[in-house]
Amino acid sequence: MEVFSYERVSGCDDAVRLMREDPASVLLAGGTELANWLKDGIVHPVRLLDINSLPGLDLIETKPDGLRIGALVRLADLAADPKVRSGYPVIPEALSRSASQQLRNTASMGGNLLQRTRCPYFRSQADLPCNKRRAGSGCAALAGADRGQAIFGWSDGCIATHPSDVAVALAALDAEVTLRSPAGTRNVPVTAFYRLPGDEPHRDTAIEPAELITTITVPASSVARRSWYLKVRERRSYEFALVSVAAAVDVDDRSGTIRDVRLALGGVAHGPWRLPAAEDALRGRPVADRSRVLDALEKDFAQARPRRENGFKIELAKRAVVRTIQLAAEIGS
Ligand code: SF4
């Protein structure tokens, strides 16, 4: 049985100070992922810091220059917000495909971004080699089941994928995460927030000890209003993505050509994976011409390094990108 103390924190300064004083502290917000970590023995906290009373972090603000989401906003509340639904539809669509309604009612946005991989070896209660769980112990997935693992950006240290749906939507919209520490605040793009595994696979994100996510900011853009999320999974509900796509597109409705587009993939890498070459190549192409849209993906997908069992993700992801762009373009047309 794990024994730990519980403390309710009422200010951000107190939270980061306590985290710095005691690195074995673990933050409690919605607690849905923390419950998994405790059950699986992934964390062994000495002290839980309940941050649910931190002021201002439960707000959703839509302004002309963009959207601000407090880290304590619950997934269900963000998904139901009318301005978010009309101005940034990719976000509620991604949220609606995450977990169950009960979990979405409880889970916080900050906690969702800080989920850890669903790699079965990482989550196993058996003591298996896992560099993410125990640095330097090896990676059981390299010689094991790799169907759900990464095809982009993996290393010999870790081939896991990140499970967050909404992180993929936020990456496509060029969102930033604001981090608070005893030294002040800093903003990190969501795309840079998630690290590649490299030779430090135990580090999932750019977050440093004693740093706290306070806010997620999504800038206003010409592409946000026509944006969509498509999640491909092995069963219809309560399942993580084999492949997912967030697409945000600005289309000239008279000519049907793409003026601007943002694309991010989920289920294929250690974090959301943008497709920059495809975004460049797609500008000026007819959105309805599937073969030309597909053709624009080739350069980015040439970087894919499938493993024994997950080569199917390449074709699946390409087709999902084409479909998601078209679904996004149909919004409001
Ligand atoms: Fe651990 Fe990563 Fe290997 Fe999975 S893929 S066993 S998380 S090191």
pLDDT, tens only, 9-58: 999 999 999 999 998 899 999 999 999 999 999 999 999 999 999 999 99
Per the prediction, the chain carries an average pLDDT of 96
Separation CA 161–CA 307 (nearest Å): 13
Minimum-distance ligand 1 atom for the alpha carbon of 131: 8
pTM: 0.97
Q: Which residue is closest in CA terms to ligand 1's atom 7?
A: 122
Q: List pLDDT tens digits, range 168-208.
A: 999 999 999 999 999 999 999 999 999 999 999 999 999 99
When pLDDT is averaged across residues 217-244 and rounded to a whole number, the result is 95
Separation CA 111–CA 207 (nearest Å): 13
Mutate to test the pocket of ligand 1, among 121, 146, 155, 268 (most ligand atoms within 8 A of CB): 121
Name the pairing type of β-strands 47-50 and 25-28: parallel
Q: Which residue is closest in CA terms to ligand 1's atom 2?
A: 158
Q: Quick one: pLDDT at residue 1? A: 73
Q: Quick one: pLDDT at residue 86? A: 97
Place of tokens 């080739």: 298
When pLDDT is averaged across residues 207-226 and rounded to a whole number, the result is 97
Q: Quick one: pLDDT at residue 202? A: 95
Q: Quick one: pLDDT at residue 47? A: 94
Q: List pLDDT tens digits, range 131-161.
A: 999 999 999 999 999 999 999 999 999 999 9
Q: List pLDDT tens digits, range 112-136.
A: 999 999 999 999 989 899 999 999 9
Minimum-distance ligand 1 atom for the alpha carbon of 160: 5
Burial (Cβ within 10 Å: 0-12, 13-18, ≥19) of residue 206: middle
Q: Quick one: pLDDT at residue 61? A: 98
- What percent of the chain has a predicted confidence (pLDDT) above 70? 100
Q: Which residue is closest in CA terms to ligand 1's atom 3?
A: 139
Q: Quick one: pLDDT at residue 125? A: 87
Mutate to test the pocket of ligand 1, among 40, 116, 117, 122 (most ligand atoms within 8 A of CB): 122
The pocket around ligand 1, CB under 6 angstroms, is made up of 117, 119, 121-122, 130-133, 139-141, 158-160, 201
Minimum-distance ligand 1 atom for the alpha carbon of 117: 7
Q: Quote the ligand 1 centre to 49 CA distance (angstroms).
A: 28
**pLDDT(333) > 80:** no
